[in-house]
Amino acid sequence: DQQVKQNSPSLSVQEGRISILNCDYTNSMFDYFLWYKKYPAEGPTFLISISSIKDKNEDGRFTVFLNKSAKHLSLHIVPSQPGDSAVYFCAASAAGNQFYFGTGTSLTVIP
């Protein structure tokens, strides 16, 4: 049972434009969320996190939005750069326990 879902396996965006990556979850007990990106054969690189007490968290070009009522999470990258091309995973955790990961969205930023 996939508790965290990323329904778009891939996304292509022009350099300089906004990239929006989406994530849905089913467990209402999740209270901590994060996004990370991953290059092939490397470990994940943490990007940004958000706790359930917030609905937005911003860090430079990256902003995460949380809609608890819709159980929806999104990552906005503005402006997108070619170096942002990677696979992006969202993950959710409840009460400090293990993370459940989405299946990832492969982002390609076209120069």
Q: Write out the residues near other proteins by the rule CB under 8 A.
A: 2, 4, 32, 34, 36, 41-44, 46, 51, 89, 91, 93, 96-104
The torsion angles phi and psi of 27, rounded to 5 degrees, stand at -90, 115
In the complex with other proteins, which residue's Cβ is closer, 52 or 74?
Answer: 52
In the complex with other proteins, which residue's Cβ is closer, 85 or 93?
Answer: 93
DSSP state, residue 9: S
In the complex with other proteins, which residue's Cβ is closer, 74 or 79?
Answer: 74
